[in-house]
Chain A
Amino acid sequence: MAAISPKMAEEVSQTAVPTPKSITLVISKFNPNHESSYKFVEFKVPVQKWTTVLDAILYVKQHLDTSIAVRYSCRQASCGSCGMKINGKPSLACYTKISELNSDIVTVEPMSNFPIIRDLAVDFTSLFSNHKKLKPYIIREDSEIVGDAKEFLQTPKDVEEYLQFSYCIKCGLCNSACPTMATDSSFLGPQALTQAYRYVADNRDKGKKERLKMVDESHGIWRCHFAGSCSKVCPKGVDPAMGIQLLRGYLLGFRK
């Protein structure tokens, strides 16, 4: 085995992984079945430049407290499972690097406006039921798989009308940031309203009238006041605020 000269050793040590610094990860812990309120628990976590908040939580789970409840899956902002409040703002834990938070104290809490199952895991029942309520599929009588009908061809321009809205991963960050969701438990929410627009904007869909009727109610589209917070936190560029305003444009007669 070749010996390493002192100079080489110095070069190796310069390119080696830097010693990790530590941050304090503060995790909100709460089990509604056994406790009456949440408590914040602090953990010291070593972090590198690339450590994400999810990595830090999983470090705690692996080494310090196995009982932390957190939902995650893909670790690449595709599944929408790890939404939580990070330093007060709804974000995806797998998509937020500790280094970009510019703070040695990182606090993670469950997303607001969702019932807490335990610790950081929240209940998505109402998000999914509102999503389903607005019929998130193409509605039309005929089908390309029966009769003489051909494929429903679309131009790239037709696709662009709805493409960004179809990027929604149902992470719920928009519903957590929405000021109306903060007080109105019956509000459909930015996620569902945007999905209604996603199908209305699709020229294969014939369900526009039906969907407009569904959102045109007191806890529907009229409760959106265009605060834009949903679009601020959306990690996929869906821009719910835009979708909702474009949808409302039909009801107000600005669009045909």
Chain B
Amino acid sequence: MERQSNREGVKGMLNPTRYGIERVAYWLQRLTGLGLLFYLIGHVIETSAIVNGKVAWDNMLALTQTTEGHIILILVIGMSAYHTVNGIRVMLGHGGIGVGKPGMPDYPYKAASLNYKQRASIWISIALAIIAMLYGAGVLFGD
């Protein structure tokens, strides 16, 4: 009999609460990746409005000048900043850079790959995303 697989599914995959900041970083990376994908699709639709003439283009552009449009753009700025900086950390990690060195395991067995450099890079990515969003908000909502 095929046993029930008991997989956690998407809910378990996206639950960022149980495994520390590294899992939060993973979750944010996925979320911002999806957000940027939706933005890209929206952006292609937006810019393609130009083929319908100047009026259609101006109408579409006017949407980005609304408060909602500004908020979306500020989110896009934050998502791009986080996804890029954290993405560089992950890419280097994927190549084995910054993940620590194998050694003699000693109790209490702290994992070298979850080191302070990795954690600091995650916090820096989050901080840079917030700074970029604040700057973006200043430009978009400023005089």
Contacts and interface: CB of A to CB of B under 8 A. Distances in A.
Contact of A228 (B9, B13, B22, B95): B22
A115 to B, nearest CB: 3
A177 B25 CA distance: 15
B99 A246 contact: yes
B53 interface: no
Interface in A139-166: 160-165
B96 A116 contact: no
Given A112-B7, A183-B9, A245-B95, A232 B114 contact: yes
Interface residues of A, number: 53
Contacts of A33: 1
Contact of B112 (A110, A167, A242): A242
20 contacts: A88-B18, A113-B6, A113-B8, A115-B3, A117-B3, A160-B103, A163-B102, A163-B104, A163-B105, A185-B5, A226-B90, A229-B18, A232-B22, A232-B111, A232-B114, A234-B111, A236-B105, A241-B99, A245-B95, A254-B96
Interface of A: 32-33, 88-89, 110-117, 122-123, 160-165, 167, 177, 179-183, 185, 201, 225-229, 231-239, 241-243, 245-246, 248-249, 252, 254-255
Interface of B: 1, 3-10, 12-14, 18-20, 22-23, 25-26, 29-30, 90, 93-97, 99-100, 102-107, 109-114, 118
Per CB-CB distance, the 6 closest pairs between chain A and chain B, nearest first, are A237-B109, A249-B96, A115-B3, A254-B95, A237-B105, A228-B22
